[in-house]
Structure 1
């Protein structure tokens, strides 16, 4: 580089440095420009705050006087603060950001980690209106409200202007699980466009129970159409549904043992409901509801609703009305009727004595077995008859041979007819008892009363008792072994062995019964200890009943009765419906064979 070039570059640098120093903007000008950028950013985001103001407790960006006098000027930015409203049943934490309930604690209840039960908390809970104001969407969830607290109420207000505002009024009465909720849009009919607005509610369920997998299995968003039974979205997968077939009386974000229900004074016309399966630790599912609210631009609008926050206890939900108690799954038809009108009333009656729930289940099982004892007796007698007839059936089998199955069956049917035995007599009473056995399969896992109740070594009858923890997962079994489930399996094997002795089962039939208990060990290992305890008791009581019946029944006497029946003339034998059908069947078979011979 020569001397002239260097001198020229040096003089240019001096000129540039001087211009930056003498012509830089003043501090006041720089402040004004920062404020303009902040307001522009908020406007472009749809009345959302600038990035620095999104965090909780972030300092509010400074706005100039013109912005503060504009639409929602005082609500565009602010500092997030919280306040609490509580009674004997609930503790509600409100935030002025969005004017919403930030967290709900159900008092008197604990999680599996012995912490307070909080239905939802934090920024994952979104609640508010979406409005079309001046062609732009405004979400109240992003506005800063002014909070006014009284003894039983919390009033949240966001001012659009001096005489126009959005107001959320929450009311919590003593000892109540209900929270009144009113939306007042004072003067907003003059600025809101279109004939509807939307109420958006999103939340993430927090884990409350020991088994996250089981909690997900019993959690789903529910809804009820007018004049129809409540229904729910998928339990096992993500799903979105547009509810618009009829008026919607309520929507519920149901968890296993707790629920948040939104109940409008006037049914909703249209709701979009969604559920997501979450994989994050401690998160059960994600729910979202978008409610379409009609809007009249000719008058101020008010919407009255209420929340229910609390347990899924059947009698508590039933007191809410509108069939909200059907959030408690009682099983399919006819199981739900057995549970609701038979099992539940008996359980509630026994509960009134103040007994331990382990004792209540014991007494409930005994009462059930006493009521079903006639069926058990009939089943035992039928199986005893079949066992006594087995030598004669073996003789027929040896005479006819196993190759001609049709003829063999016909000979068996003749024998049954002669001695007056119904071969299905041992199965039918068992089948009649099966719905009750299956009803308990739905009853105990959904019974809130068992939650947190201990009995013997079982700390919580509403979940599994992990007596042995593996520290790793075994296929089909899981990461633990439930002692009550093991005892239930052993009792089932004992019952199967004794039942085979009564029925005289041989061959493959003798061993098939031993397979199911092993299958149940894997299936029921993660089910509530209360359910396995019931099945264990039912097996042992049935075993005791059959042992008692065996001591009372004389096989030789039964055999003599069968012989006497065999000697009676056909016209003196009283035919059962089953025997009549057997006669018809045999007659049809004979006609078919006769026709086949003629055709040949």
Structure 2
């Protein structure tokens, strides 16, 4: 670009800037322009409001015209909403005559964060609509007013009446000491008013799940829409994202669960053609998820057979839910206990057979939940002590051979001799009957119990709102430092039990690494990596239940004491003497250890052959 071109561009830019400045409206012109723009926007707002009012009026007029005197339940379109309550010792249910539905459910034995009896849902949190059919109309119960008949303290019949002899009854019954609500739908005198060819009714069930615990994130990870396929396993929608599913199979039940409580809808004749949806709610809204289920179930319009259904409004307590399957065949079992997340397959079996029974036994002694977790941790450590001891002794055997390993390391200081050093080290271990792998198997065998407890503790409703030491609720985090700003990966607080547990794990790592110092060269960075995980616990478990972090803290401290005790009571000179005796009288290894020894010998043989061939050349 030459000089003249550059000057030309500069002049053009200068002209544009000057023109913009000179043609800019003055202050009075700017005020007038703003007033004009505001008047345009106000006029547009008024026009939009008029159109909305006209549309609403047209919709109301259409509804009035459709609700004519020929409608099956015309008289039931008029009325005022009223409420009726039934209750037992555990639950209090309120029903609305508008739609004949459950309006609210309150659990008497559990409290919300306000220390008042816990309300699962209320008012607009829930929607229940049943659809019946004839040739000229769809009868949606949410649009009609029911009559309350046959009311007792624990039962209620709500009637949608066409006339005195033609009606549909919704009957709700609860029983003493039970969270289950029996629900039947039965038609009387409706054969000529409903379509005889339609043997089903459609159901729309929506519910917004209230946040019942302090920690939104922790509670939300256990909240999901769950359903039981007839003759198959339970499944659920994603708890981490919005999700939906079109289920073609027959369902025994659909459940809306949070961490500790559930609303479950059960059909004796099963649900079919189910459309299930889960929507996430934002933190601070007071809700976790918004669930919706559209499904179909059996209905006899002639009234010869009732539709039998049930609601469960109650806690996710394993034995409470398991009791509903007592005496039933495998085919008829509801498996509501699956609402309690105890882990998959073998882990769940450990929790059902061992963990829950030990926990319930300790609880029955009248101990505080903190002491229950303490004694439970001790019992678990006793159960897995054999594996801990075997793993420790494996490391101890290699540790007493460290002086000889150091001699081998000094013979092969170069990196290219790493294979020779490894082979000679393994040969040394073989002579003394020591296997580096023998310590791994005991550690692996105790892992299922450790992981099973990780699944159990956050699911134990008994920990809910139970205090211990500085933690006022073991089922949620125990913040001792809080701030207003949300920090990624850490949130807005530091949990004390989580911090102490992480520090204990750093100490345990130090002891473990000293215990496992056998003289063998470690991978670069391995030592630093061993300390990374305990630090990461602060970020991973900071939002988890205080009871879980407390359990891991106690478990880690006991592990440290066990390691110190084993080291103190292990005579390493006697252990070395035993190894020397093994060296003089070698025993043939069997099983896995024998196979590993054979592989090592074969590796050494091949290496020696290659070395000899290389020397010949």
Give the 3-state SS of the residue equivalent to 2:130 in structure 1.
strand
Give the 3-state SS of the residue equivalent to 2:99 in structure 1.
coil
Name the counterpart of 1:253: 256
Q: Tell me which moved more, 583-592 or 556-565.
A: 583-592
Name the counterpart of 2:275: 272
Name the counterpart of 1:56: none
1:510 deviation in Å? 3.2
Q: Tell me which moved more, 398-407 or 216-225.
A: 398-407
Q: Tell me which moved more, 204-213 or 248-257.
A: 248-257
Name the counterpart of 1:60: none
Conserved 8 A contact 2:158-2:171: yes
Conserved 8 A contact 2:465-2:472: yes
Question: 1:496-515 residue pairs with structure 2 within 5 A?
Answer: 496-504=509-517, 508-515=525-532
Question: 1:136-151 residue pairs with structure 2 within 5 A?
Answer: 136-148=137-149, 149-151=151-153
Name the counterpart of 1:566: 583
1:417 deviation in Å? 0.4
Q: 1:371-405: CA deviations, max 9, x gaps?
A: 22222222222112222222222222332343133
1:218 deviation in Å? 0.5
Name the counterpart of 1:159: 161
Q: Is 1:339 equivalent to 2:351 in the alignment?
A: yes
Give the distance between the partners of 1:295 and 1:183, measured in 2 at CA.
8
Q: What is the aligned residue count?
A: 541
Name the counterpart of 2:314: 310
Correspondent of 2:432 among 399, 419, 425: 419
Cα separation, partners in 2 of 1:115 and 1:183, compared to 1, 3 Å = same
Q: Is 1:348 equivalent to 2:360 in the alignment?
A: yes
1:220 deviation in Å? 1.2
Give the 3-state SS of the residue equivalent to 2:285 in structure 1.
coil
Q: 1:484-537: CA deviations, max 9, x gaps?
A: 111111111111111122111676443322111001111111111111111111
Q: Tell me which moved more, 532-541 or 372-381.
A: 372-381
Give the distance between the partners of 2:270 and 2:99, measured in 1 at CA.
24
Q: 1:265-324: CA deviations, max 9, x gaps?
A: 333344222211122610111112222123456655521112111111111111122221
Name the counterpart of 1:363: 375
Cα separation, partners in 2 of 1:269 and 1:365, compared to 1, 3 Å = same
Conserved 8 A contact 1:461-1:530: yes
Name the counterpart of 1:97: 98
Name the counterpart of 2:212: 208
Name the counterpart of 1:82: 83
Give the distance between the partners of 2:399 and 2:529, measured in 1 at CA.
18
Name the counterpart of 1:30: none
Conserved 8 A contact 2:87-2:153: no
1:151 deviation in Å? 3.1
Conserved 8 A contact 1:77-1:143: yes
Give the 3-state SS of the residue equivalent to 1:188 in structure 2.
coil
Conserved 8 A contact 1:165-1:185: yes
Cα separation, partners in 2 of 1:69 and 1:162, compared to 1, 3 Å = farther
Give the distance between the partners of 2:483 and 2:581, measured in 1 at CA.
61
Q: Is 1:283 equivalent to 2:284 in the alignment?
A: no
Conserved 8 A contact 1:186-1:301: no
Question: 1:118-129 residue pairs with structure 2 within 5 A?
Answer: 118-129=119-130
Conserved 8 A contact 1:271-1:292: yes
Conserved 8 A contact 1:189-1:301: no
Give the distance between the partners of 2:357 and 2:372, measured in 1 at CA.
13
Correspondent of 1:577 among 570, 584, 591: 591
Conserved 8 A contact 1:413-1:582: no
Name the counterpart of 2:329: none
Q: Is 1:525 equivalent to 2:542 in the alignment?
A: yes
Give the 3-state SS of the residue equivalent to 1:223 in structure 2.
strand
Give 5+ residue unaligned stretches, structure 1.
1-35, 48-66
Q: Is 1:378 equivalent to 2:385 in the alignment?
A: no
Q: Is 1:406 equivalent to 2:419 in the alignment?
A: yes
Name the counterpart of 1:9: none
1:587 deviation in Å? 4.5
Give the distance between the partners of 1:481 and 1:39, measured in 2 at CA.
55
Give 5+ residue unaligned stretches, structure 2.
1-56, 326-333
Cα separation, partners in 2 of 1:155 and 1:403, compared to 1, 3 Å = same
Question: 1:289-328 residue pairs with structure 2 within 5 A?
Answer: 289-296=293-300, 300=304, 302-321=306-325, 322-328=334-340
Give the 3-state SS of the residue equivalent to 2:428 in structure 1.
helix
Correspondent of 2:63 among 39, 42, 50: 42
Cα separation, partners in 2 of 1:471 and 1:398, compared to 1, 3 Å = same
Q: 1:393-434: CA deviations, max 9, x gaps?
A: 222233234313333222121111001111123332222222
Q: Tell me which moved more, 495-504 or 515-524.
A: 495-504
Conserved 8 A contact 1:402-1:408: no
1:326 deviation in Å? 1.4
TM-score, with length taken from structure 1 = 0.85
Correspondent of 1:551 among 564, 568, 582: 568
Name the counterpart of 2:35: none
Give the 3-state SS of the residue equivalent to 2:416 in structure 1.
coil
Give the distance between the partners of 2:297 and 2:163, measured in 1 at CA.
23
Report the aligned-residue RMSD.
Answer: 2.5
Question: 1:388-403 residue pairs with structure 2 within 5 A?
Answer: 388-400=400-412, 401-403=414-416
Name the counterpart of 1:6: none
Correspondent of 1:493 among 496, 500, 506: 506
Give the distance between the partners of 1:76 and 1:301, measured in 2 at CA.
27
Q: 1:229-270: CA deviations, max 9, x gaps?
A: 32212111222222233x322221112111112222333344
Conserved 8 A contact 2:186-2:303: no
Give the distance between the partners of 1:180 and 1:295, measured in 2 at CA.
16
Give the distance between the partners of 2:159 and 2:385, measured in 1 at CA.
66
1:357 deviation in Å? 1.0
Q: Is 1:586 equivalent to 2:586 in the alignment?
A: no
Name the counterpart of 1:110: 111
Conserved 8 A contact 1:133-1:191: yes
1:595 deviation in Å? 8.0
TM-score, with length taken from structure 2 = 0.82
Q: Tell me which moved more, 506-515 or 475-484.
A: 506-515
Give the 3-state SS of the residue equivalent to 2:231 in structure 1.
coil
Conserved 8 A contact 2:208-2:291: yes
